[in-house]
Amino acid sequence: MKITVNGVEHSFDGDLSMPALWYVRDELALNGSKFGCGTGLCGACTIHVDGEAVRGCLVSMQELEGKSVTTIEGLSEDGNHPVQVAWRDQNVPQCGFCQTGQIMQAASLLKSNPKPSDQEILTSMSGNICRCGCYQRIVSAVRQASTGA
């Protein structure tokens, strides 16, 4: 099967039940997406499939045939996506483990809703757990990325 990851087409002939997370991490060596809970509850493995945030640990390779996948490595060529800039400006990460998933979730939110309210930010980000409790800085960064300020 064919799958496009970060703009590059790849062939996959392995186990179609393999989670996308294992493929991007183990086969493509794109290690930004993290394994957290393995049940889709923490959000550390968030990737985009055709522009929508999904949990990489739950999506099977079979579901990705002919689709486009974006990992944190492909979000911005130079690391300056507005969400990434806001994350740095707001000093969001503490330990950093969840941050790639948080950033991918926020980027997906802003693609579908460029000017979310604080409540919409909280609702969209609620499936991404931050062990360090950086939620106020996360909301501030998403707000900054949405306003460009």
- Assess contact for 6 and 69: CB atoms under 8 A: yes
Query: What radius of gyration, in Å, describes the C-alpha atoms of the chain?
Result: 15
| Bridging pattern class, strands 46-49 and 68-70 | antiparallel
Per-residue pLDDT of 82-105, as tens digits, reads: 999 999 999 999 888 999 999 999
One of 3.20.20.80, 1.20.1370.20, 3.40.309.10, 1.10.150.120 is the CATH number of 82-147, namely 1.10.150.120
Task: Decide if 115 contacts 146 (C-beta within 8 A).
Answer: yes
DSSP SS3 for 48:
strand
Its CATH class, for the domain covering 2-75, is alpha beta
Whether the domain at 2-75 and the domain at 82-147 fall into the same CATH topology? no
Can you tell me the distance from the alpha carbon of 144 to that of 86, in angstroms, rounded to the nearest whole number? 6
- Walk along the chain (149 residues) and give the pLDDT tens digit of each residue: 999 999 999 999 999 999 999 999 999 999 999 999 999 999 999 999 999 999 999 999 999 999 999 999 999 999 999 999 999 999 999 888 999 999 999 999 999 999 999 999 999 999 999 999 999 999 999 999 998 75
Domain ranges of the chain: 2-75, 82-147
